[in-house]
A = this chain, B = another copy of it.
Amino acid sequence: MDHMGGGQTAGGQNCLAGVKILDLTQFEAGPSCTEALAWLGAEVVKVENPKAGDPGRSSAGLPGCDSWYFLQFNANKKSVTINLKSPRGLELVKQMAAKADVFIENFAPGAIERLGLGPDVIRAINPGIVYAQVKGFGEGSPYEHNLAFDMIAQACGGTMSITGEKDGPPLKPGPSLGDTGTGMLLAVSILGALFRRNSTGLGDHLQVAMQDSMMHYIRIAFAAQAQLGTAAPRAGSSSVTGGNPPMGTFPCKGGGPNDYVYVYTSRANPEHWRRLLGVIGREDLLGDARYDTPAARAEREPEVNGMIALWTRQHDKHEAMRIIGAAGIPSGAVLDTMELHSDPSFEARGIMQTIHHPKIGDYKMPAWPVRFDGKPPEVKPAPLLGQHSNEVLNEWLGLPAGEIDSLKQTGVI
């Protein structure tokens, strides 16, 4: 990665040097949050059940081998196994909490308190700690005791209600916004609390609910509702705030499931439409009142879309994007995960990075996409279960090797 940038700060992986995070999260919402902090240089220690660890490890159903899912959300972390049902194990977690800057968990509602590791306990041990929790539904919600997963948060948080065809049923957006979308809001908040702590020394108790977080990502739908006076509608691939034809996905040569190009002509810039007429060879319609304004085109939307599709069907999506984009009209090929994975530009820029995992081998995955002085942080493989038990228990708690061995033999770690 050294060819990509230079200077003391390149890559961002030293931003949080020295910050210790005690990570009791699993699956995605919590792990995506702590992984972002790990990429920026925090020492993130996953505390995992000695038997099987984070259940995300086994989600691919490959015996003895961590899933790709797990690799995505746990890069650059350390793993320590501790049996939370053993009194000595619980004591170890409390001793680690005394040394940590952040404690974070996303167990089912009430579980962390039942374990005896609730916010009151941990903050009494370490008043300067930032204690962070991910909930499905917020405390005080009628559903605060309910289980939640990504799709439940997306149903109850409004994102499904605005996704789908105009006359079709609500659809789940593909991105796991209920999980990673929530994790990012918590990461911002933890960093805010850590920043303040530098001057005040005070910790905090942070809580974020997945349902609540969804509303943060659909604020244009709330704006549309204020304008319409009714709930924001579904709008296919157009916009909930109202479309401006032509606007949407258009079919391209090839006919495959993702052989489409998105074309957007902005209401705010009438040149987009005029330029597009040039691209499709219909300069004859320049200034034609039947098409010249957004209102006129909205009345003839199928006809207008048909003109564009006539042209796009003659080009593959990459060519269509290149030609339309070069003419100064916002345009984008619909790319699938394989095309993104195979595009050498992402690897050259460090946006995709290849890790070497001791069991899975080489694996290319998306990195933290923000570049610091020209390069993103360097991705390191997710830890094997318990890979850092010895190192962390020795460094954090000063436990000698002999004592760690005996903790292993007695099933505490």
Contacts and interface: CB of A to CB of B under 8 A. Distances in A.
Given A9-B202, A173-B175, A237 B363 contact: no
A208 B151 contact: no
A280 interface: no
Given A193-B372, A231-B338, A40 B163 contact: no
What's the number of copies of this chain in the assembled complex? Answer: 2
Nearest to A159: B175
Contact of A332 (B28, B148, B374): B148
B249 A169 contact: yes
Interface string A376-396: 000000000000000000000
A110 interface: no
Interface stretch (A77-85, A210-218, A298-306): A210-218
Given A68-B223, A142-B345, A219-B73, A260 B181 contact: no
A351 B222 contact: no
A237 B160 CA distance: 9
Interface in A1-26: 8-9, 12, 14-17, 19
Contact of A232 (B36, B226, B330, B336): B336
A366 B69 contact: no
Contact of A208 (B141, B258, B371): B371
A408 to B, nearest CB: 27
- Chain A's interface size range is 35 or more
Given A205-B372, A231-B339, A160 B262 contact: yes
Contacts of A14: 196
Contacts of A181: 175, 177, 181, 184, 217
Interface in A326-360: 328-341, 345-346, 348-349, 351-352
A158 B372 contact: no
Given A138-B351, A262-B152, A370-B189, A177 B175 contact: yes
13 contacts: A12-B204, A71-B223, A72-B220, A142-B345, A161-B337, A163-B173, A163-B174, A170-B258, A184-B184, A188-B191, A206-B372, A209-B369, A212-B369
7 A-B pairs with least C-beta separation: A162-B174, A173-B173, A15-B192, A155-B332, A191-B191, A155-B262, A231-B336
